[in-house]
Amino acid sequence: MNAHDRRRVVAACLFTVVALPALWALSRDSAANSRSPSVGAAGVGVVPDGHSTAPSTTEYHPDPPLFVGGDSTPLPPAQVIVAVPPAPSTNEVLGKATFHRYEGLSGSPCTTQLAPDGATITIIDVDNGQRTTCTNVLGYPVPAGSDIVLDTSTFVIIANLVDAPVPVRMSW
């Protein structure tokens, strides 16, 4: 900071130290001429002449409960039906799918140790229901934590690449 800036900061501080207490002292009102709400505005009765009266004592009776939209008796809950997927068959497996770009292979290749070599595998994303097919080509490694590796172009049909690995149902 140069000398001019330091002088400006000192002047601003001194002005603030003097001006704020002066404004506070000049703007104070007494309770009689204050524009702030009184106790009467809050619902408490104030007797202006100084005579006190006993408060009224009426017994509180709550209103009966209100049922919006119909009778006062609620209906018993209906039977809830829960959809449960069928158990996997002998040629069906639940697993995790990830992706890899297969260079030099045509079609939609994939690799899994759970299906036979050359099998056409139907893959269904469990999260969103998207479906695709691929041909199992053994010979590529499957990373730990995954059960099937799809070609990148096949994987984007069922899920986004950032979601990998995704839960899938595989059948052949």
Q: Is residue 137 one of the residues assigned to a domain?
A: yes
Closest C-alpha to 95, from 23, 37, 49, 150: 150
Q: Total domain count for the chain?
A: 1
Q: Is residue 64 one of the residues assigned to a domain?
A: no
* Position 14 pLDDT exceeds 70: yes
Q: The CATH number of the domain where 134 resides is what?
A: 2.40.40.10
- From CA 152, how far away is CA 111, in angstroms rounded? 12
- From CA 146, how far away is CA 95, in angstroms rounded? 7
Segment 137-157 shows an average pLDDT of 90
Higher pLDDT pick, 25 / 132:
132
Segment 136-154 shows an average pLDDT of 89
Segment 33-39 shows an average pLDDT of 59
Please report the pLDDT score of residue 22 as a whole number.
85
Segment 78-98 shows an average pLDDT of 84
Count of residues in the chain:
172
* Position 28 pLDDT exceeds 70: yes
Most confident of 78-82, 102-106, 147-151: 147-151
Lowest-confidence segment of 8-12, 80-84, 125-129 by average pLDDT: 80-84
- pLDDT tens profile 46-71: 555 556 666 677 888 888 777 666 66
Segment 112-138 shows an average pLDDT of 91
For 100, 111, 154, the CA distances from 119, given in Å and listed in that order, are 19, 10, 16
Please report the pLDDT score of residue 43 as a whole number.
55
In the block, tokens 């001429």 appear at 33
Q: Is residue 29 one of the residues assigned to a domain?
A: no
What is the secondary structure of 20-78 as a DSSP string? Answer: HHHHHHHT---SSS--S--GGGGT----TTS---PPP-----PPPP--TTS-SSPPPPP
Q: Are 122 and 158 in contact (CB under 8 A)?
A: no
Q: Is residue 122 one of the residues assigned to a domain?
A: yes
Kind plus residue range of the DSSP H or E element containing 136: strand 131-136
Q: Is residue 79 one of the residues assigned to a domain?
A: no
Higher pLDDT pick, 94 / 67:
94
Q: Is residue 46 one of the residues assigned to a domain?
A: no
* Position 108 pLDDT exceeds 60: yes
Q: Is residue 134 one of the residues assigned to a domain?
A: yes
Q: Is residue 19 one of the residues assigned to a domain?
A: no
Domain interval for residue 160: 92-171
